[in-house]
């Protein structure tokens, strides 16, 4: 069976299990996941029967790309009537109860939901976002293959950047070199995030105190950025000797992202930062030993917290002060911020097909951020490391 159709089938199984009559998919990434096309429109998936992708634009391209049936959306005012006509078993006018449909409440604008409520007054809308996110949490071999390729390319870009890195080079120049390289090798130019108001460029490159500048981005390292209109990642600060350079970068191949961090220094680091870097590697090695099917995701975070506190670095772990983030890692795939999250309250057992970025980092205000991040695919017996760049503190 086509992989997109298999995903639709798995969605239908979840709908039946939760006694939901159907699901309306509206977000670009989710549309692509289930249809293979990222055209503007609505994918309606009944709990039984064939899904239909109602496309506003471009119908021609959707017909060429989509694994499911495509129909022109036409007038939105008549959308409800068309659905009722096509899916009589779902929208039964004689039924005494409302039709229960799921939608991705985590990303669906309120205005758009109100429009759907207007044309489908017989519907009770419920939140289906976790159904969709949990389905996407388990990757196929093909999906993992795209992430593996992204890891290969980001390694080439990293080595190219190191060959050009020198004292006086600005963070922006270093970031631009990385972005140029990955674009030349197939990076689509986007690193998508699902979280509301969360954005990411190709990553976070920052040196010295600039890397430790806090910002709105939900991560342990912020970065100065170029302006308050883009307050993250690289700025125009020149890179100096004997300071930590955090190179937290990604690449997106065929829609799928890799996430990787390495710490670099031109010269040597102060002893306390060098020791903290060593602790970040000890944490990631210890967590790797627990990357086994059945391990509960939040346990990995709690374990890393214990190790950071035992090293006397708990106040600096994953940020500092009010700007500390409360996770160790996150799922990756079509988006940077997928399930499972390695954080308190997330009780997902690891299972084959999950892809997780693990990023133990330490933030020192006024001095810099150090750490390491790898991306892993969970296998039947453990893991495959998808990031292949050399590890250890890289001294130039």
Q: Could you read off the pLDDT tens digit of each residue along the chain, which spans 396 residues?
A: 799 999 999 999 999 999 999 999 999 999 999 999 999 999 999 999 999 999 999 999 999 999 999 999 999 999 999 999 999 999 988 777 899 999 999 999 999 999 999 999 999 999 999 999 999 999 999 999 999 999 999 999 999 999 999 999 999 999 999 999 999 999 999 999 999 999 988 899 999 999 999 999 889 998 999 999 999 999 999 999 999 999 999 999 999 999 999 999 999 999 999 999 999 999 999 999 999 999 999 999 999 999 999 999 999 999 999 999 999 999 999 999 999 999 999 999 999 999 999 999 999 999 999 999 999 999 999 999 999 999 999 999
Q: Which residues pair with 376 in a beta bridge?
A: 356, 385
Q: Which residues pair with 377 in a beta bridge?
A: 355, 384
Contacts of 231 (CB under 8 A, 6+ apart): 215, 216, 222, 224, 225
Question: What per-residue confidence (pLDDT) applies to 10?
Answer: 98
Question: What per-residue confidence (pLDDT) applies to 65?
Answer: 98
At 148, phi and psi to the nearest 5? -60, -40
Peptide bond preceding 291 in cis form (omega within 30 of 0) = no
Give the span between the Cα atoms of 89 and 49, in whole angstroms: 10
Domain boundaries of the chain, sorted by first residue: 3-136, 138-395
Question: What per-residue confidence (pLDDT) applies to 97?
Answer: 85
Decide: pTM greater than 0.75. Answer: yes
Classified as helix, coil or strand, 157 is helix
- Its CATH architecture, for the domain 3-136, is 3-Layer(aba) Sandwich (3.40)
Give the span between the Cα atoms of 156 and 249, in whole angstroms: 12
Give the span between the Cα atoms of 192 and 16, in whole angstroms: 30
Domain 138-395 has CATH 3.40.50.300: no
């Amino acid at each position: 069976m086509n992989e997109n159709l298999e995903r639709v089938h798995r969605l239908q199984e979840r709908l039946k299990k939760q006694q939901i009559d159907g699901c309306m998919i509206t977000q670009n990434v989710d549309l692509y996941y289930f249809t293979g096309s990222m055209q503007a429109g609505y994918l309606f998936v009944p709990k039984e029967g064939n899904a239909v992708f109602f496309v506003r634009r471009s119908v021609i391209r959707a017909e060429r790309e989509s694994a499911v049936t495509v129909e022109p959306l036409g007038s939105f005012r008549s959308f409800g009537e068309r659905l009722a006509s096509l899916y009589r078993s779902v929208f039964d006018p004689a039924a005494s109860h409302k039709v229960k449909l799921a939608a991705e409440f985590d990303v669906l604008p309120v205005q758009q939901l109100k429009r759907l409520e207007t044309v489908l007054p017989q519907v009770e809308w419920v939140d289906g976002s976790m159904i969709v996110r949990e389905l996407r949490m388990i990757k196929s071999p093909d999906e993992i293959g795209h992430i593996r390729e992204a890891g290969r390319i980001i390694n080439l870009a990293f080595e190219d950047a190191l060959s050009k890195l020198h004292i006086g080079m600005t963070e922006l120049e270093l970031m631009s070199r990385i972005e140029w390289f990955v674009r030349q090798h197939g990076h689509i130019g986007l690193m998508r995030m699902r979280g509301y108001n969360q954005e990411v460029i190709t990553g976070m490159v920052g040196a010295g105190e600039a890397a430790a500048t806090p910002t709105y981005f939900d991560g342990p390292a912020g970065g100065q950025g170029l302006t308050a209109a883009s307050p993250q990642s690289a700025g125009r600060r020149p890179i100096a000797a004997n300071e930590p350079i955090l190179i937290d970068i990604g690449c997106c191949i065929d829609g799928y992202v890799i996430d990787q961090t390495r710490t670099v220094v031109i010269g040597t680091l102060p002893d306390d930062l060098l020791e903290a870097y060593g602790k970040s590697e000890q944490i990631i090695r210890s967590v790797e030993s627990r990357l086994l099917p059945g391990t509960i995701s939040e346990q990995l975070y709690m374990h890393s917290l214990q190790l950071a506190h035992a090293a006397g670095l708990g106040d600096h772990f994953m940020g500092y002060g009010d700007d500390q983030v409360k996770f160790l890692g996150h799922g990756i795939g079509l988006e940077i911020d997928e399930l499972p999250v390695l954080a308190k309250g997330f009780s997902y057992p690891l299972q084959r097909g999950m892809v997780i970025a693990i990023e133990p980092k330490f933030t020192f205000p006024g001095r810099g951020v150090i750490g390491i991040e790898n991306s892993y695919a969970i296998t039947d017996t453990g893991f495959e490391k998808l990031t292949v760049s050399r590890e250890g503190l890289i001294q130039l």
